[in-house]
Amino acid sequence: MQTAFALIEKIRGRTTLPLIPKLAPNVPDIKPFARAMADAGADAIALINTIPAMVIDIETRRPVLANRVGGLSGPAIHPVAVKLVFDAAQAVKIPILAMGGIMEPRHAIEFLIAGATAVAVGTANFIDPQTPLRVIDGIADYLRRHKLASVRELTGSVVTS
């Protein structure tokens, strides 16, 4: 965490451009990392990166990927990403860009309710390049149905009691 803080602080000292570090999910607690990025001068944080994963071909008993391991992304990581976004939103006031398994509008809306300020569609673009447009339309429909004037009204609106 100290290394990440020092790096972001050094970069911030050399640029006024927006600085949005992407945090990895494989840490015991995301909150101190999120706070360190905010304290070091990040304008926002992005959550999450892929999760280390491995698949083995049971017939050859060899890893499927040449590197042995790779990054798991897509729908499988969505619940992990939502939890980390929720945790980070409790720790920082800077914007949070959420990503991880957005296949449908409800996935993006879930991130917003958990505390994300914005969302990004990744893996779904490989399956259906129209996914971002469907997500945008779905968010707009949700706002209309729930009589909300803005996405800002969703951000961090999770009910925990």
Mean pLDDT to the nearest integer, 86-112: 97
Mean of all residue pLDDT scores within the chain: 95
In this prediction, what percent of the chain has a pLDDT beyond 90? 93
Residue 142: name the closest of 107, 106, 102, 117 by CA. Answer: 106
2-153: which CATH architecture?
Alpha-Beta Barrel (3.20)
In this prediction, what percent of the chain has a pLDDT beyond 70? 100
pLDDT at 161: 84
Domain boundaries, the chain: 2-153
Cα–Cα dist 118/156, whole Å: 11
Given a cut of 90, is residue 105 above it in pLDDT?
Answer: yes
Residue in the block written with tokens 């803005």: 150
pLDDT at 2: 87
Cα–Cα dist 107/143, whole Å: 14
pLDDT at 104: 97
Within 10 A of 47 (CB to CB), how many other CB atoms are there?
A: 31
CB 113 within 8 A of CB 158: yes
Mean pLDDT to the nearest integer, 23-27: 92
pLDDT, tens digit, for every residue of 41-93? 999 999 998 999 999 999 999 999 999 999 999 999 999 999 999 999 999 99
Cα–Cα dist 134/132, whole Å: 5
Would you call 63 helix, strand, or coil by DSSP? strand
Given a cut of 90, is residue 128 above it in pLDDT?
Answer: yes
